[in-house]
A = this chain, B = another copy of it.
Amino acid sequence: MRDNLAGNFFEDFRLGQVIKHATPRTLTVGDVALYNGLFGSRFAVQSADTFAKKIGYPRAPIDDMLVFHIVFGKTVPDTSLNAIANLGYADCRFLAPVYPGDTLSAVSEVIGLRENSNRQSGVVYVRSKGFNQKGAVVLDYVRWVMVRKRSEASPAPNADVPKLPDKVDAASLSRAVPKLKAKGYDYTLAGSTRRFGDYKVGEKIDHRDGMTVEEAEHQIATRLYQNTARVHFNQFTEGRGRFGRRLIYGGHVISLARALSFNGLANAFHVSAINGGRHVAPLFAGCTVFAWSEVLDRQEIPKRKDIGALRLRTIATKDRICGDFPFKAGEEYDPAVILDLDYWALIPR
């Protein structure tokens, strides 16, 4: 018998198919340090065991986006090795904290299929779940990708497009956060006195700093996640391809934007859910990433007096500062925009 080294093509997916992904992964303080070196995040809860313990965690939890990338990485060999484009995310929820020493694995279910009219590719919708070593779900999200067909002649499945929520319900947002000991939260050490009540819907925040990305950086990050998508690593082939160069993993931009967002959102310490995300344009090494955010909504969470939820749109750009909040002109994104991310972050009340 042979392994499926060529990856799955559109014809290989069936509605309802369940894929148990390979390579469980124990996360450690080593991963945390390398992630810090790559993104420089400064949220105190994830940075210091002492800070985390004082507010009710057993120790500093692992950065939410690192958890996302690890789970996402596992799904790549089975779902997106033959992807043309990563089209979107929805209904992404962080459901339990992850700590150094935990081992993550991932399972996906095909929840939608739709052939494209050109018959050369189709869209595959998968719901992926990340589990810890106890079997608890730590992450649950839907992603859809455009995948090549092996053959144009292959018959199309019945189109089946899942109905997806345009946002995660605020009532379900706090599962990965213990009840906070509010008095233990030191706003000086956290870097800001702004909390839930200090943000207004419609407020825009320029995150100010810029971060230039090097080839070695995004490669080290993406290998750390055991993500095997070839476009990120292989200059020999990509040099002859669409862009003439390696394409940076879209998740790298999300992590950069999240780290930059500390400037203005220092207490929004937990990404609780991603309502949707769009990689508007590709990022290449040598470019500098900037970001800004808009507060789209503010919601209290039932039975949680300790924390509230801010719905944020974070926009990342390349080689363009964000003091004037570049976004769209009509339907078109500003040409510098590379990421449009809609998510819920939790913040003390």
Contact = CB atoms under 8 A, between A and B. Distances in A.
Nearest to A263: B5
A208 interface: yes
Contacts of A49: 26, 101, 103, 133
Interface string A62-82: 000000000000000100000
A45 to B, nearest CB: 10
Contacts of A2: 194
Interface stretch (A115-123, A227-235, A341-349): A227-235
A156 to B, nearest CB: 28
Among A40, A103, A264, find the residue whose CB has the most chain B CB atoms closer than 10 A. Answer: A40
Interface string A8-46: 000000000000101111101111111011111011100
Contact of A23 (B44, B208, B221, B233): B44
Contacts of A189: 20, 22-24, 105
Contacts of A320: 236
A209 B228 CA distance: 8
Contact of A22 (B30, B44, B217): B44
Contact of A226 (B47, B193, B321): B47
A216 interface: yes
Interface in A216-253: 216-217, 219-224, 226, 228, 230, 233-237, 246
Contacts of A235: 212, 286, 288
Given A29-B29, A50-B103, A22 B266 contact: yes
Given A5-B263, A209-B233, 10 more contacts: A22-B192, A23-B191, A24-B50, A26-B47, A28-B33, A29-B29, A34-B34, A36-B224, A49-B103, A210-B233
A232 B49 CA distance: 28
A266 B42 CA distance: 35
21 contacts: A3-B192, A3-B266, A22-B44, A22-B189, A22-B191, A22-B266, A23-B44, A23-B47, A23-B190, A26-B47, A28-B32, A33-B33, A36-B226, A37-B223, A40-B224, A50-B103, A77-B191, A212-B234, A212-B236, A214-B219, A235-B286
Nearest to A235: B212
Given A198-B1, A210-B237, A48 B26 contact: yes
A188 interface: yes
A134 to B, nearest CB: 10
A284 interface: no
Interface residues of A, number: 79
A109 interface: no
A215 interface: yes
A211 interface: yes
Q: Is the interface of A mostly helix, strand, loop or mixed?
A: mixed
A133 B60 CA distance: 14
A319 interface: yes
B230 A209 contact: yes
A219 to B, nearest CB: 7
A125 interface: no
Nearest to A286: B235
Contact of A40 (B37, B198, B228): B228
A208 B30 contact: no
B34 A33 contact: yes
